[in-house]
Structure 1
Amino acid sequence: MTKTSLAVLMLFSALLINAQEYFPKNDGVKTTSSAPTAFINATIHVSHNQSIKSGTLLIKDGKVVASGTNVTVPKDAKIIDVKGKHIYPSFIDLYSSFGIDKPKRQPRNRGDKPQYDASRTGYYWNDHIMPEQHAMEQFKFDAKSANELLKAGFGVVNTHIHDGIHRGTGVLVALNINDGNDQRIINAKSAQHLSFTKSALSKQAYPTSIMGSIALLRQFYYDADWYAKGMSKTKDLSIEAYNANKNLVSIFEAGSKTNALRADKIGDLFNIQYIILGGGDEYERIPEIKATNAAFIIPVNFREAYDVENPFLTDALQLSDMKAWSQEPNNPKILEENGINFALTTHKLKSPEKFKSMLLKAIEYGLSKEKALEALTSMPAKLLGQASKIGSLNAGTYANFLITSGEIFDKKTKLYENWVQGEQHVILDMNQKDISGDYEFSLNGDTYKMTILGDAPKLKSKVTTGNVTLGSQIKYTDDWVHLSMTTKDTTTQDFIRVAALVKENITLQGKAILPNGTETTFLAKKETAEINKSNSKTDKNKDVKVNYISKITYPNMAYGFETLPVQETLLFKNATVWTNEAEGILQNTDVLIKNGKIAKIGKNLSNSSAKIIDATGKHLTSGIIDEHSHIATSSVNESGHNSTAEVSIEDVIDDEDINIYRNLAGGVTSIQVLHGSANPIGGRSAIIKLKWGASADNYIYNNSPKFIKFALGENVKQSNWGDNSKSRFPQTRMGVEQVYIDYFTRAKSYDALKQSGKPYRKDIELETLAEILNKERFISCHSYVQSEINMLMKVAEQFNFTVNTFTHILEGYKVADKMAEHDAGGSTFSDWWAYKYEVNDAIPYNAAIMHNQGVTVAINSDDAEMSRRLNQETAKTVKYGGMSEEDAWKFITLNPAKLLHIDDRVGSIKIGKDADLVLWSDHPMSVYTKAEKTIIEGVTYFDIERDKAMRKAIAKEKRILINEMLKAKNKGEKTQAIKQKKKVHMHCDYVEYQIN
């Protein structure tokens, strides 16, 4: 990649604009005419909200001089009469790779350059951060692609290098085929571009996950601020380039509503308001999208209907995908209704040719034509700060405009010409008559019907007589139609040839030559002449028939709520109440829930405003808490470094994971979503409540305790990653210990500098580790073998902190006394063993032995299936360890709450605690029991009767959508094959080593 200094680039940009003025002319005598051109008698759409009838557009030297009804036309002006036609500003595409070669992906293995590529000296340490890239340096005008865009109505594109997390600057280009880059380049540095996607050119492993991309970008912004203050002792051309371009607009490729919200949070932290490339699914979380205050760039690549003719394949089709097919065209309308600024883009379309049909579909679904025009003209211009140059036909703007046969967003309107910077690009000859339509004619006593489709010169004809469709071909040039067609006798190969002149009233008049050589007159009349769009009236109240639109649910998938459940006052009557407090298990007891809290516990309670729930013969418990889970996240491991304390699971909560709902059905109300075990020091945890239907941020506990994942054993030293992956330190258990000592030593020094009041470079990783030293963050450590458990406790004691929880800890029974002395908790499996070498010594008595030694013990899942059966898992400790039922139940309720430092809020039924409760049909540890209601803070997120109704509603919705897709196919719409989606089942050792 060429590395050009900022000064050289600025000089180059200036030369682009001015160089041609003083270039010598050595190729003959030339006279450049600067005479103006006037387009008269047009309906001129100066902008999306300003139109002029019978107006004049005057242009000169590639710019608009004036537009209006009283424009003085100079004597030397060339006059073009476009009576009855419309003139619009050309479209602008804010998100393009036009003129930029697609980077070729390099083969990548997990072990490739995991930490630093030393060949990039002088630039930022991570290859995927490249603000020094300038699209202008790689830009090559592509006339073929330009022609495709011109035909779709575009006159300007903002293009950039689609590679990396920080991708550098883009370039704003006019699609002017006739001139060179000295004229085309409107802005050589139009915007900064970012994404969560790694560079295809680099083999540097970090980041391997989206949470790593988020953390890396945050750290980069901190580093840029530090550098800007003159605090760096070394030169960094990447940061210098970013700081030099800081005032440019920043465009972030999110590609989905979820990533849009993630990107916006980064922007908010650093006071950056991104323009966000969306994914077309913004309608699913419109309140949150609106709250970003961001402008969006919206693709219109609406998906095709699925081919649902095969019922066996259709069973694999997810309701969420079926709903998306029906809902996506509604997205622009919903954005408009909610006052969200947006531009439209061809991004993700196979060809710009498809843009018009997709846009018309959005308009059919309710997007106003005015908003559509704004989203293609003035809005993108405004977002780039270029409204004085492009996006309208105001005086002084570039003469970028379209000449059309009628209103631009009417289906039959034709685009004749696309002028860019005053240069004419002819799409269709606007002086040629439009002959498309339906005709009827007679020949030799037979009546024929003919339909002509398309635009000249690419026309198609369909000719029928009676029930016979004839073979035919048609050509149309210079007002003459030449038609050849077979006869109605399909057993012969005879042809009828027609030559006809197109008359003013779109009548085809000429002669026909029959197969025997006889000539006869030919006269074909158009059945319904097309009404000129400029004279037609738009019926705004006309109902446009669109496909069935599925209702949006929260989340927008199976088992989503049409209306989010609300907090209620609930009174449970005559339940068997498992308090987990000194009162123990209470028989025939009432529990009142009010304002999301447990308000009263007792007998014969009453409340006039409460919803009464008869719990006779049923059991009421606090909600199950899973100390170790990997559901509800879209990323689990950042494996690129041996320490990734800078990453956070809170950044990647997946609020649409169906396992959330399944866990609620199993009585689970809270979980700790842990980073995986790819490295000794993993990422920060997320402690969440399973508020199904809420947005990701609303899952996280208020004032959530701070946790981080550590790991020991085979995974972190890469012994089970395969031979090609063993390139990262550490490779031995001894090395793991040294990683901890090294990082805590560095964190201690970092914290001392921070506390001293002296300037310091903010390092998210060391900040996190310093929180451990300061007892502000707690460790949950993946562990198996007693020697390693002992080692980490000794390291912790060396640095004066405590390991909060050893999770898995299948050899905990060997060191339970030492754990109790250290005050470490144990969160373990009930009866897992022998599934890999380091758990060969595991026994099912582990939980009971640790408990009997005074260790706070929890039973965890580490598995999406097991987590919804934790009530049965904890029952195993009664069998194997002789635990009492009450103590066993605490293993999945009160004890994990204690380990997570949330036992003041949840884990038992106590007045004042959060009303996170489960009503069971039977004894809560029975294999036959069912969770009838799962309640979080007084909101019923799972109800077994509601679940039955939802199953019926899902089946009905699928039937409707299948029928709609069959209808779409029968109407000739394209369909796509069904591809079965398999959700990744995440465990500790699931490693993402590519995110792009």
Structure 2
Amino acid sequence: MSLARLCLLLGGLLAGNFVHAQETFPVNGIADKREGCYAFVKATIVKNATTTLNNATLVIRNGKIVSVGTGPVPKDAVVIDCGGKYIYPSFVDPYSDYGTQPVKKAVSSRRGEPQLLSATKGAYGWNQAIKSEVNAAAIFNTDESSAKTLREAGFGTVLSHQQDGIARGTGVLVTLADGSENKALIREKASAQYSFDKGSSTQDYPGSLMGSIALLRQTYLDAQWYKTRPAKEGTNLTLQAWNESQSLPQIFDVQDKWDALRADKIGDEFGVQYIIKASGNEYQRIPEMVATKASFILPLNFPLPIDVEDPNDARFVALSDMKHWEMAPSEPAAFEKADIPFSLTASGLKDAKQFLTAIRKAIEYGLSEQKALDAVTLAPARMIKADDQVGSLEPGKLANFLLTSGPLFNENTVLYQNWVQGQRYTIKDEDFRGTYTLTVLPANATYTLLVKNATSLSLIQQDTLAGSISLSGELVKLAFPVKKGAAQLRLSGVTGAKEWNGTGIDTSGALIKWRAVFNAPYTKKDSTKPASQLAIGKLYYPFNGYGWETLPQQQDILIKNATVWTNESEGKLENTDVLVRNGKIAQIGKNLAAGSARVIDGTGKHLTPGIIDEHSHIAISKGVNEGTQSVTSEVRIADVVFPDDVNIYRQLSGGVTSSHLLHGSANTIGGQSQLIKLRWGADAEELKFAGADPFIKFALGENVKQSNWGERQKVRFPQTRMGVEEVLTDAFTRAREYEKEGPGKRRDLELDALVEILHSKRFVTCHSYVQSEINMLIKVADSFDFHINTFTHILEGYKVADKMKQHGAGGSTFADWWAYKMEVQDAIPYNANIMQRVGLTVAINSDDAEMARRLNQEAAKSIKYGDMAEEDALKMVTLNPAKLLHVAEHTGSIKAGKDADLVLWSNNPMSIYAKAEKTMVDGIIYFDRDRDLELRQRISTERNRLVQKMLAEKKKGTATQKAAPTQEEIYHCEDLQAGHQKSLINGN
């Protein structure tokens, strides 16, 4: 009996099974309490990824597995002969939104009025992006259409949640059985879900990635405090639900590899080990992924090849995007090789039916079949603590299993059925493909037919001839010529499991009878390439055209016969050597012995300390401003450092070795800043300048009071310069009162940072222009007994230099920017010179990714405007910013014992003709102009290789994606959300 016909017999029995399973529901009719018991015999049963049983029997009863192996078949069982077939556990998807309504993401706009408070009604938390009270089980509805698609992809169970918000509430574990939600629901609260995406929240805060991170951190603290809160604080259902869900598996959805590390760091801070739902590019940083000790859920939505047929389109596509297309399918194999626990998900696929195809592609790229099976069955079940019910074929577990024609991951294997909770769902009827011996009567002529698919067949003889086939249910039509150039035999009939028969018309028009007997299944030649044969490019660190194939190592270096600008009392030293050992400046002098050090000839060249940009916005991910509130001292640039930013490399080419990454100027008290060293290729933590004092960004002026934000932006306080003063006064008054509170107080990250300022443990850099406001801030700081470390921009600094000196502040300014808005009308190019002559520590900064590449030239402008000495001009971009940032003991001058942050210039660094030939950080040469030329050639070669590979894919008929310019984010002080975007051309 064929499976198709057997299934008709099983239908009635299964219906009785479901009635019996729901005793609490009334029956409209006559109750049927028959038990459904089935024995699948003679099958190859794959219990799990490591255990396969041959000629074995699977017995199920009432939707659960009774036995697996060679035990007796119950007398009341319906016996199903599975000879030649395989049984596998149905797949488990640990990341799904099945049965929940998709929520439309809010689109924020500066044109609308700000929403400062939550719009959620009820006794919930203050921010509507924190939705920990959402219970997916309460909103879950079975969806027959979606369930069918997932079942046909092999799934039997999914962990589903509403994918909306930063804290998304709890997930529900359900099967893909049709019928009532009560039957499908396995576990009401199976996980707690998180992301960095605020989702449908229309509330302004958070408006940046660093804001999302700060909100998460604050919510953890608030939830801990809520457990022992004073009774007067009342009920917060959001925090209550948060606390109740902390014992569940904690799953965090991320958008890229760096977000994975950010999420893990939050988890480490609060003692939580997240399961990370990955983005698909984590293979680019496998050592860092290993270090998280996390389990991962890997998507298989590999990018399509890009249509680069038009060279004008192709030139705007970044090399990194091309390489990601090629390398993305290797991610599961990379995780397996690194022994990182992972499972696979269909999330992100446009069509879940492509899931098996995607797995096969991952196998082609090196994933083992054993690991692939584990990653879709037992691994996800273990991950979500459901392995007692699903994920393998064991007695007592749910009867969720697949019936297939052969090994699961073979390209020709057919999925016949997916049984979910003991209910059969047909995916495909018995496979008809194969070779048949066809006999035509009365002539008794015999032919061999090869049926490849539902539309084509071949007559196999000396000349293989093409024919056609048409199937409709159990009816079949065949047509083929018996010899080349002859008319066709036309046949029709019915199909069976091993034999087809019917009637037809021969080439002369006579009536005939026919019979086709199945001989052997169709086997298509496996085109899958072993991983070792795939031509895959190399990883770069960062994943960028200018990245390293192997990260550079520290080495001893001797630079000989250079003009050395020491920035110390020795001044400029001609024909002098500098020895670098273990990342430090070891010796300065003439005719130094090289020993084993690498020797670099500096004859005719100039060696200076590395340039330090006191005010930068490079290497920041997903927003430079959290401009949604007047005070956001809780947010931290340290949380969103972006190591892949090509501007790191570009600025190394201009001699920059350190950058002070600042929050923007959209609010009065902005976020905490981060000093980094430009260690190109390092991860975010390794970029950070270890041991540097912490700073924070304040701002004054037009940006703070939203002068240029539009007429609707009249809600957020302050709206005047007077209001700015009140915001500052109020903030530090609250900080003083907060500090006085006793044990058990609610910890407030915003006020923690302000208390640090009051105790000189955090230092202020303030965006400023106008004289009156500078005076105001000095007075406020004096009244609260703290001081402003640096006034940045400070274009009217020449008017108040004496007061700045008295207060103890320095200045970091532009060389000659003015007239770009009203509050800079009084800027003059003599500003830096005047402030320096008064006795201030003065730096020249960029506030601009492009200008930072020419800070040596910006400093040189003060030689023209005010006749500043060359060495003093250089100090404004080296030693002076080091002093302002409290790192002058480490960098900023060439002195024995300091960090070897050095630049070898082709000419006098104050000349517009000078080029940075080599830029060194901690004794490692991160930029070399000769190597740069080699990299440009490598980029060209690699781009061409990938273009040709994508063109070949298009020629084969592979679907492609439209070529689109690759964007990079370029931030300035006032940028909100995505900031200014710039297309990358050719290199990156």
Q: TM-score, length-normalised on structure 2?
A: 0.92
1:498 aligns to 2:513 (yes or no): no
Q: 1:840 to 1:526 in 2, by over 3 A?
A: farther
Contact kept? 2:792, 2:812, Cα under 8 Å: yes
Q: 1:467 to 1:820 in 2, by over 3 A?
A: farther
Tell me the equivalent position of 2:858: 873
**Gap change, CA 1:436 and 1:626, over 3 Å in 2:** farther
**Structure 1 residue 304, shift from structure 2 partner:** 1.0
Q: What SS is found at the alignment partner of 2:455?
A: strand
Residue equivalent to 1:460: 455
| Matched-pair identity in % | 50
Deviation at residue 521 of structure 1 after TM alignment: 7.4
Partner of 2:164: 163
Range moving further from structure 2, 468-477 or 977-986:
468-477
Look up the equivalent residue of 2:331 and give its one-letter code: N
- Label 1:24 to 1:751 Cα distance change in 2 as closer, same or farther (>3 A): closer
**Structure 2 residue corresponding to 1:929, chosen from 914, 937, 940:** 914
Aligned to 1:240: 240
Letter in 1 for 2:610: G
Amino acid corresponding to residue 44 of structure 2 in structure 1? T
Partner of 1:29: 30
Cα distance, 1:76–1:703 mapped onto 2, change above 3 Å: same
Q: Deviations over 1:649-697 (max 9, x none)?
A: 0100110000000000000000100000110000000100000001111
CA distance in 2, matches of 1:993, 1:944: 32
* Cross-structure match for 1:137: 138
Cα deviation, residue 109, structure 1: 3.3
Q: What secondary structure, in the 3-state scheme, does the structure 2 residue paired with 1:843 have? A: coil
Local SS of the residue matching 2:357: helix
The one-letter code sitting in structure 2 at the alignment partner of 1:323 is K
1:694 corresponding residue in structure 2: 682
Listed as ranges, the matches of 1:292-371 within 5 Å are: 292-371=292-371
SS at 1:816's partner residue?
Answer: helix
2:970 aligned counterpart, secondary structure = coil
User: Does the aligned pair in 1 maintain the 2:171–2:189 contact within 8 Å?
Assistant: yes
Contact 1:805 1:824 in 2 (8 A): yes
Residue in structure 2 matched with residue 373 of structure 1 by the alignment: 373
Q: Helix, strand or coil for the counterpart of 2:423?
A: coil
Q: Could you tell me whether the CA contact under 8 Å between 1:114 and 1:728 is conserved in 2?
A: no
Asked if structure 1 preserves the Cα contact closer than 8 Å seen for 2:434 and 2:523, the reply is no
- Deviation of residue 470 (structure 1)? 8.8
Q: What residue is the counterpart of 1:831 in the other structure?
A: 816
Return the offset for 1:752.
Answer: 2.4
- The residue number in structure 2 matching 1:197 is 197
Match of 1:95 in 2: 95
The alpha carbon displacement at 1:435 in A equals 2.1
Matches of residues 807-826 of structure 1 in structure 2 within 5 Å?
Answer: 807-826=792-811
Which residues of 2 match residues 719-868 of structure 1 at below 5 A?
719-753=707-741, 758-868=743-853
Task: Please state how far the C-alpha of 1:242 moved relative to its aligned partner.
Answer: 1.1
Other-structure match for 1:8? none
Q: What displacement does 1:539 show?
A: 13
Aligned-partner SS, 1:958: helix
Any conservation in 1 of the 2:206–2:212 contact (CA below 8 Å)?
Answer: yes
Q: Which residue number in structure 1 is paired with residue 549 of structure 2?
A: 562
| Match status 1:718 vs 2:706 | yes
Does the CA contact (< 8 Å) of 2:20 and 2:32 recur in 1?
A: no
SS at match of 1:170: strand
Aligned CA-pair RMSD? 3.1
Shift of 1:724: 2.1
User: Does residue 73 of the first structure (1) align with residue 61 of the second (2)?
Assistant: no
Aligned residue identity for 1:482: K
Deviation (angstroms), 1:511: 3.1
- SS, match of residue 881 in structure 1: coil
- State the match for 1:988 in structure 2: 973
Q: CA deviation at 1:805?
A: 0.5
1:890 aligned partner:
875
1:757-790: CA deviation from partner (whole Å, max 9, x where unpaired): 5322111100001100001111111111111111
Tell me whether 1:706 sits opposite 2:687 in the alignment.
no
Shift of 1:142: 0.4
Describe the superposition over 1:173-194 as per-residue Cα deviations: whole angstroms up to 9, x where unpaired.
Answer: 11111x4222210001110111
Offset from partner CA, 1:602-659 (integer Å, 9 cap, x none): 1110031111111011000000000000001112011111111000001001100000
CA displacement 1:322-346 (0-9 Å, x = unmatched): 1011111111001001110111000
1:647 aligns to 2:635 (yes or no): yes
* CA displacement 1:528-574 (0-9 Å, x = unmatched): 843699xxxx999x836865211001011111000000001000110
**For residues 985 and 682 of structure 1, do their structure 2 counterparts lie closer, same or farther at Cα, with a shift above 3 Å needed?**
same
Of 655, 662, 671, which aligns to 1:683? 671
Relative to structure 1, is the Cα distance of residues 618 and 54 closer, same or farther in structure 2, using a 3 angstrom cutoff? same
With over 3 angstroms needed to count, the CA separation of the structure-2 counterparts of 1:908 and 1:449, relative to structure 1, is farther
In the alignment, which residue of structure 1 is the partner of 2:986? none
Distance, in Å, in 2 between the alignment partners of 1:448 and 1:821 is: 105
- Measure the CA separation in 1 of the matches of 2:332 and 2:854: 43
Partners of 1:80 and 1:226 in 2: how far apart? 59
Quote the offset at 1:823 in angstroms. Answer: 1.0
For 2:629 and 2:283, the matched residues in 1 are separated by 37
Mapped partners of 1:448, 1:722: distance in 2: 81
Matched, 1:530 2:518: no
Q: Residues 469, 669 of structure 1: CA spacing in aligned structure 2 closer, same or farther, 3 A cutoff?
A: farther
Q: Name 1:9's counterpart in structure 2.
A: none
Find the aligned partners of 1:808 and 1:665 in 2 and give their Cα distance.
24
Shift of 1:926: 1.2
Q: Would you say how many aligned residue pairs link Structure 1 and Structure 2?
A: 957
Matched, 1:435 2:405: no
Aligned to 1:54: 55
User: Could you tell me which amino acid in structure 2 is paired with residue 262 of structure 1?
Assistant: R
1:481 aligns with 2:476: yes
CA contact (8 A) 1:450 1:461 kept: no
AA matched with 2:973: C
Given that residues 346 and 355 in structure 1 are in contact (C-alpha distance below 8 angstroms), is that contact kept between their aligned partners in structure 2? yes
Cα shift readout 1:121-165 (whole Å, capped 9, x = no counterpart): 421111110111111121111000000001010000111011111
Q: Distance in 2 between matches of 1:659 and 1:434?
A: 59
Report if the CA contact (8 A) 1:172-1:189 is conserved.
Answer: yes
Contact 1:109 1:725 in 2 (8 A): no
Query: Cα distance 1:502–1:718, how it changes in 2: closer, same or farther (>3 A)?
Result: same
Residues 722-749 of structure 1, C-alpha deviation per residue, up to 9 Å, x if partnerless?
1122221110000011000000000111
* Cα distance in 1, alignment partners of residues 785 and 855 from structure 2: 34
Residues of 2 paired with 1:556 and 1:980: CA distance?
17
Query: Superposition pairs for residues 230-309 of structure 1, below 5 Å?
Result: 230-231=229-230, 233-309=233-309
Instruction: Pick closer, same or farther for the CA change 1:24–1:220 going to 2, 3 Å.
Output: closer
Partner residue of 2:935?
950
Q: Unpaired runs of 5+ in structure 2?
A: 1-17, 981-988
Deviations 1:400-453 (A, max 9, x none): 101111110111011111111111111122xx3422689999999xx9999755
The superposition leaves residues 904-930 of structure 1 with CA deviations (integer Å, 9 ceiling, x where unpaired) of 100000010000000001111211111
Using the alignment, how far apart are the partners of 1:979 and 1:424 within structure 2?
45
Paired residues of 1:112 and 1:204 also in contact (CA < 8 A): no
Corresponding residue for residue 42 of structure 1: 43
Distance in 2 separating the partners of 1:310 and 1:886: 51
- In 2 relative to 1, CA 993–120 (structure 1 residues): closer, same or farther, beyond 3 Å? farther
- CA 1:219/1:441 → structure 2, altered by over 3 Å: closer, same or farther? farther
Residues in 2 aligned to 1:721 and 1:35: alpha-carbon distance in whole angstroms: 68
Check whether the contact 1:806–1:824 (CA below 8 A) recurs between aligned residues.
yes
Q: Whole-Å Cα distance in 1 between the matches of residues 510 and 533 of structure 2?
A: 50
Change (3 A) 1:978 1:393: same
The structure-2 alpha-carbon separation of the partners of 1:872 and 1:502, relative to structure 1 and needing over 3 Å to count, comes to same
Opposite residue 250 of structure 1, the aligned amino acid is: Q
Contact 1:501 1:510 in 2 (8 A): no
Partner SS state of residue 815, structure 1: helix
**8 A Cα contact 2:365 2:530, kept in partner:** no
Aligned pair partner of 1:606 in 593, 599, 603: 593
After superposition, what is the alpha-carbon deviation per residue over 1:355-396, rounded to whole angstroms, capped at 9, x for unaligned?
A: 111110001111011111111111111111111111111111
Superimposed CA distance per residue, residues 560-608 of structure 1 (whole angstroms, 9 cap, x where no aligned partner): 0000000010001101000000000000000000010000001110031
Q: Secondary structure at the match of 2:424?
A: coil
For 1:10, the equivalent position in structure 2 comes to none
Are residues 589 and 441 of structure 1, via their aligned partners in 2, closer, same or farther at CA, if it must alter by over 3 Å?
A: farther
Write the distance in 2 (CA, Å) between the matches of 1:870 and 1:781: 20
What is aligned with 2:13?
none
